Chains A and B, each alone.
Chain A
Amino acid sequence: NAGVTQTPKFRVLKTGQSMTLLCAQDMNHEYMYWYRQDPGMGLRLIHYSVGEGTTAKGEVPDGYNVSRLKKQNFLLGLESAAPSQTSVYFCASSDPTSSETQYFGPGTRLLVL
């Protein structure tokens, strides 16, 4: 199993550009999450999904949109990137029926100029 994978690994954007971060998991997990990690701060939840076709806002959802069209994929979109969105983005998944453990991907480092 590859676990949780994220693409791309690194990206540089100019202010106002858009992009989509892709997260994929092969563990058949129902729940998926998008976090951002900034220096000196803990992980903060952006959006999450409790199943295919459903999404919900987390702690810091503004400026981001998500979609969960397939169970194994969770996409995070930035419609108009801002320098404040420079961060490392982590995707995670979990299976609430067997464990509450979240399994994280390797991260996407995003720089917005």
Chain B
Amino acid sequence: GESVGLHLPTLSVQEGDNSIINCAYSNSASDYFIWYKQESGKGPQFIIDIRSNMDKRQGQRVTVLLNKTVKHLSLQIAATQPGDSAVYFCAERGDKIIFGKGTRLHILP
């Protein structure tokens, strides 16, 4: 069946380093992908999206990479800051939107 998963449930990164959060998806027909950030006690917040006709998209300090060959999505955060501490999850849209379980990003001082 369709599924959206994450390789690591928790990721610890030194402040200032780059963070890479990964996501696998199984529906090859999905045409739109989104990354959300969810801080403790808050609702999910849109970070960046990418359509299936692209393989890379950049935002402010964030980059999303899409590898359709292996059905893999990643979120790169440059120069990680304490404010980046949150749960990050991906979502894919095929005939419906499926959300991943999330990866918790922990920033080390």
B13 adjacent to chain A (CB < 8 Å): no
The A-B contact count (CB < 8 A) is: 42
Number of B residues, CB within 8 Å of A:
20
Residues in chain B near residue A43, CB distance under 8 A: 44, 89, 91, 99
Shortest distance in angstroms between A33's beta carbon and chain B's nearest beta carbon? 9
- CB-based contact B101/A106 at 8 Å: no
- A41 — which chain B residues lie within 8 A by C-beta? 101
A42 to B, closest residue via Cβ: B99
Do A42 and B4 form a contact, CB below 8 Å, given A100-B49, A106-B42? Answer: yes
Chain B hits for A104, CB < 8 A: 43-45
Task: Tell me the dominant secondary structure on chain A's binding face.
Answer: loop
B4 touches A100 (CB 8 A): no
A48 CA to B46 CA in the complex, in Å? 19
Interchain CB contact under 8 A, B101 and A42? yes
Contact surface of A with B, Cβ cutoff 8 Å: 4, 40-45, 59, 90, 92, 100-107
Please give the residue numbers on chain B whose beta carbons come within 8 Å of chain A beta carbons, in ascending order.
Answer: 4, 32, 34, 41-46, 49, 89, 91, 93, 96-102
- 6 interchain residue pairs of minimum CB distance: A104-B43, A42-B99, A43-B99, A104-B44, A101-B46, A106-B43
